[in-house]
Amino acid sequence: MSVRGIRGAHTVDSNDPKLIASATLEMINDIIAYNHIAPEDICSVLITVTNDLDEAFPAQAIRQVPGWELVPLMCALEVPVKGSLERCVRLMVLVNTELSQAEIQHVYLGGAKALRPDLANSK
């Protein structure tokens, strides 16, 4: 078994707590489904948001999912590079898995598909 990183990113239309939570949950649910993992397989999740998303903590939405109460979650601000994608939530999920690096299914949704078009359609 190895520790692997699974990336996720999603954009929201506005700085709205419900949209931020919904996008975060959609990503985490897709990551779980596509990679066949359970919360107890997860080492930790790093969540970043762009500085234009300041109405909610994405980790708060994840903590409401049954089984996720003990998963270490941390939110941070994404590096504010000029011209970068706006209103974006990103995940780095570290998991214990038997999957090889090539078998990992990353999740890029909404406008975030532009970040990694090579991986956006990997599911």
Neighbours of 39 (CB within 10 A): 16
Catalytic one of 4, 87, 88, 108: 108
Catalytic one of 63, 69, 86, 98: 63
Is position 87 annotated as part of the catalytic site?
A: no
Is position 108 annotated as part of the catalytic site?
A: yes
Is position 90 annotated as part of the catalytic site?
A: yes
Catalytic one of 4, 40, 75, 88: 75
Query: In terms of Cα–Cα distance, which of 110, 97, 100 is closest to 19?
Result: 110
Is position 34 annotated as part of the catalytic site?
A: no
Is position 116 annotated as part of the catalytic site?
A: yes
Alpha-carbon distances, residue 77 vs 35, 44, 82, 89, 108 (angstroms)? 26, 17, 14, 9, 18
Catalytic one of 4, 78, 87, 88: 78
Catalytic one of 4, 7, 87, 88: 7
Catalytic residues: 7, 63, 75, 78, 90, 108, 116
